[in-house]
Amino acid sequence: MPGFEIFGEEERKQVNDVLETGVLMRYGFDGMRNNHWKAKEFETQFAARMESKYCQLVSSGTSALTIALASAGIGAGDEVIMPTFTFVASFESIMMIGAVPVLVDVDDTLTLSPSAVESAITPKTRCVMPVHMCGSMADLNALKTICERHNLILLEDACQALGGTYNGKPLGSIGDLGCFSFDYVKTITCGEGGGVITNNSDYAINADQYQDHGHDHHGNDRGAETHPTLGYNFRISELNAAVGVAQLQKLDAILEIQKRNYTIMRTALEQVEGITFRRVPEGGVESYSFLNFFLPSESLAKKGHKALSENGVDACFYWYDNNWHYIHGWEHLRNLTSLGKMPQEIKNQLQDLNQMDFSKSDAWISRTISSLIKIAWTEEEVKERAQKMVASLQKILTA
């Protein structure tokens, strides 16, 4: 991760197919296309790769989450349970449709704690949204059992975990719906883009219509299409989809390199007393896009992160102080700072996030350091990086 590290002739060829026709929009202009339908091609191939019946390609991972929620009939006042450690898109997508995000603790998987989810369920809960952060997954068996018991939608946000599996199935394909991001820093990229997968034909139809102003997409005359429902413009362009078509063919190679680089670094860090690693649920296989490890305390994690930077180890993240990925940095959410009036349901139902006790999340996230796994590194560069990491962290831990 990320796919932009290996742009090449394959992407240029796919993009040139589109540029030569002049048709950058995914719908219409059939006679001008020279039979190039890049979004449709990507959708077909990605659905097959994800072992799902349907894929809807859209403009971003954020829009994918919004579309998935809307396609399942979730709307104003419905509560969606999400983790404290994620990206701001999680609550943005929920609030976009007037639904209410309910934040709960993560555990040692760095993803949703099933016991915290169970405790947060109310009569207004409609959906549980695990976010497979940094390449690994939630305890999906436990979450699926909870959802079935309470008749809830299970929506997997697999934006950071493309290529990971759980009990042999691709992440994103286990819940009722799964969402992916293909932005510039994801495992494969369209530049900007996202996708929704599902095996539910009703959800697939709803997603197809919702992302394109409610168009039914029947026939080949766009002007004659009807609008069974309201929607928005969350379409992807043919140019973005074209990049994705080429990138998808490189996914296996990307995952193989990520696993190699991850394994070298993890094997080295396993020798350092005091370092432990996130728990991967039984049956789970990471995508190896990040190496995530714990130091014994918050203070040591901060010192360790600083030492890594000072010793030339880049692309390491300390999420606890990050403005984008942890509840501590979401002041705009905690204070409901908005350009316009917020829906009354959100104002009435949102937790008082300035007063909530997320100490169980703090206990994990405050001790976590994550190293991005780049695919452009040579094997020798990875070994050198691993040695620097070991030396930097050993010095902190034995001081």
Give me the active site residues, please.
Answer: 186
Q: How far apart are CA 294 and CA 365, in angstroms?
A: 8
Among 308, 312, 311, CA closest to 293? 308
The total number of residues shown for the chain amounts to 399
Cβ neighbours around 185 below 10 Å, total: 13
26-29's contacts with Cβ under 8 Å and 24+ in sequence apart are 26/57, 26/235, 26/236, 26/237, 26/238, 26/241, 27/212, 27/215, 27/217, 27/222, 27/235, 28/222
- Residue whose entry in the numeric block shows the structure tokens 């971003």: 60
Vertex 197 angle, CA 56 and 115, to 5°: 140
Q: How far apart are CA 310 and CA 317, in angstroms?
A: 13
Q: How far apart are CA 372 and CA 368, in angstroms?
A: 13
**Do 304 and 369 meet the contact criterion of CB atoms below 8 Å apart?**
yes
* Close Cβ partners of 368 (under 8 Å, ≥ 6 residues apart): 110, 278, 292, 293, 294, 301, 318, 319, 320
* Close Cβ partners of 122 (under 8 Å, ≥ 6 residues apart): 79
Cβ neighbours around 234 below 10 Å, total: 23
**Do 126 and 135 meet the contact criterion of CB atoms below 8 Å apart?**
no
Q: How far apart are CA 79 and CA 272, in angstroms?
A: 43
Q: How far apart are CA 72 and CA 24, in angstroms?
A: 30
